[in-house]
């Protein structure tokens, strides 16, 4: 099963695609869709949608996992991030993907074992779990972590369901 993890941001939205076969996980691709702060909001959101649509069409994931938004103290920043998150959810939905959402603490816990992990710890664990990913940017590493979290949840759920059926 091919999964895409998405870490929404207006300036930089990270994406990471992994392949889950049984309990084996493999790196497919990762990157960032960026927009210029000098552009107006509508142009930035359009660039985000078009970029993500291209990624989804190129890598053809079966499901998407999106990190939930952390509310900032700055209300305007939170609002803009919410717009970006809406576009991320829309891009996945318009391409027929089932979308699962995960809190940042859940993603960190799934990848590092603690929900209070720092960004650098998450990136190190992503490289350890997906060594073929090589060095990835922070936003792409976060997106890969979201995909890994989703794969872990799916695998755990499958094992529970197999035990129930037995």
Active-site position among 39, 57, 67, 68: 67
pLDDT digits (tens, 9 = 90+) for 61-110: 999 999 997 777 788 888 888 999 999 999 999 999 999 999 999 999 99
Question: Rounded to the nearest 5°, which phi and psi values hold at 34?
Answer: -115, 155
pLDDT digits (tens, 9 = 90+) for 106-126: 999 999 998 889 989 999 999
CA–CA separation, 126 and 88 (whole Å): 22
Query: What does the pLDDT read at residue 4?
Result: 98
40: helix, strand or coil: coil
- Catalytic residue status for 7: yes
Active-site position among 7, 40, 68, 132: 7
Q: What is the pTM assigned to this prediction?
A: 0.91
Instruction: Please enumerate in sequence order all residues whose Cβ is within 8 A of that of 97, keeping only pairs 6 or more positions apart, or say none.
Output: 4, 56, 61, 62, 63, 64
98: helix, strand or coil: strand
CB 110 within 8 Å of CB 152: yes
- Catalytic residue status for 101: no
Active-site position among 63, 118, 139, 142: 139
- Catalytic residue status for 46: no
């Amino acid at each position: 099963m091919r999964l895409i993890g998405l870490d929404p941001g207006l300036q930089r939205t990270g994406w990471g695609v992994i392949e889950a076969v049984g309990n084996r996980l493999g790196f497919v691709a990762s990157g960032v869709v960026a927009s210029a702060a000098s552009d107006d909001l509508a142009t930035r959101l359009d660039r985000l949608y078009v970029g993500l649509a291209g990624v989804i069409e190129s890598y053809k994931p079966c499901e998407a996992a999106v990190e939930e938004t952390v509310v900032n103290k700055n209300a305007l920043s939170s609002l803009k991030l919410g717009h970006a998150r809406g576009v991320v959810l829309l891009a996945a939905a318009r391409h027929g993907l089932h979308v699962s959402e995960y809190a940042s603490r859940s993603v960190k816990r799934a990848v590092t074992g603690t929900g209070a992990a720092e960004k650098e710890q998450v990136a190190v664990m992503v490289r350890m779990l997906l060594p073929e990913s090589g060095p990835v940017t922070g936003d792409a590493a976060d997106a890969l972590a979201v995909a890994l979290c989703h794969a872990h949840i799916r695998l755990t759920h499958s094992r529970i369901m197999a035990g129930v059926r037995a």
